[in-house]
């Protein structure tokens, strides 16, 4: 079987998620570093977001879809439970992280500390307090 190629940035939390799936399942993969919106990312993702996956002639975007594909296509421990209720709870938490927790805690709160857009470069207290 060909080795999956993950195209993204090691600094990206969503690229890290896909890499964690590979590590947990023992999948040998290649990470190709790319910038957000790079041509090789846009070639697979219509909005230029990372990560994207190339596996032979199959390409895929969106970390959740990539994680599910890798879980189903490769041997190793199953990461999504086969029990319907447990699988649904897994999907519920993945959705909550993607739609609420990541935008609020990582993209807003954490970035207000690490990469503030303030004139003095200090943490953006107004944004932090608002979150």
Of 51, 22, 13, 106, give the one whose Cα is nearest residue 114: 106
pLDDT tens string 74-103: 999 999 999 999 999 999 988 888 787 777
Q: Tell me the per-residue pLDDT of 16-41, one tens digit each, with 9 for 90 and over.
A: 999 999 999 999 999 999 998 899 99
Work out the pLDDT band at 107, boundaries 50, 70, 90: low
For residue 84, give both structure tokens: 């319907």
Walk me through the domains of the chain, giving residue ranges and CATH numbers.
5-73 (3.40.30.10), 84-130 (no CATH)
Which residue, 33, 57, 54, is CA-closest to 45?
Answer: 54
Up-side HSE of residue 90: CA atoms within 13 Å toward CB?
Answer: 13
What's the pTM?
A: 0.82
Question: What per-residue confidence (pLDDT) applies to 85?
Answer: 97
């Amino acid at each position: 079987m060909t080795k999956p190629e993950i195209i993204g940035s090691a600094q990206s939390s969503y690229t890290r998620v896909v890499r964690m799936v590979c590590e947990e399942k023992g999948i040998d993969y290649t990470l190709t570093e790319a910038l957000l919106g790079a041509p090789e990312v846009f070639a697979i993702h219509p909005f230029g977001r990372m990560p994207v996956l190339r596996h032979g002639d199959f390409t895929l975007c969106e970390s959740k879809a990539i994680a599910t594909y890798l879980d189903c296509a490769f041997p190793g421990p199953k990461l999504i439970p086969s029990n319907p209720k447990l699988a649904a709870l897994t999907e519920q938490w993945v959705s909550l992280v993607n739609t609420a927790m990541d935008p609020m805690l990582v993209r807003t709160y954490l970035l207000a500390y690490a990469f503030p857009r303030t004139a003095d470069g200090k943490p953006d207290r107004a944004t932090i307090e608002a979150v």
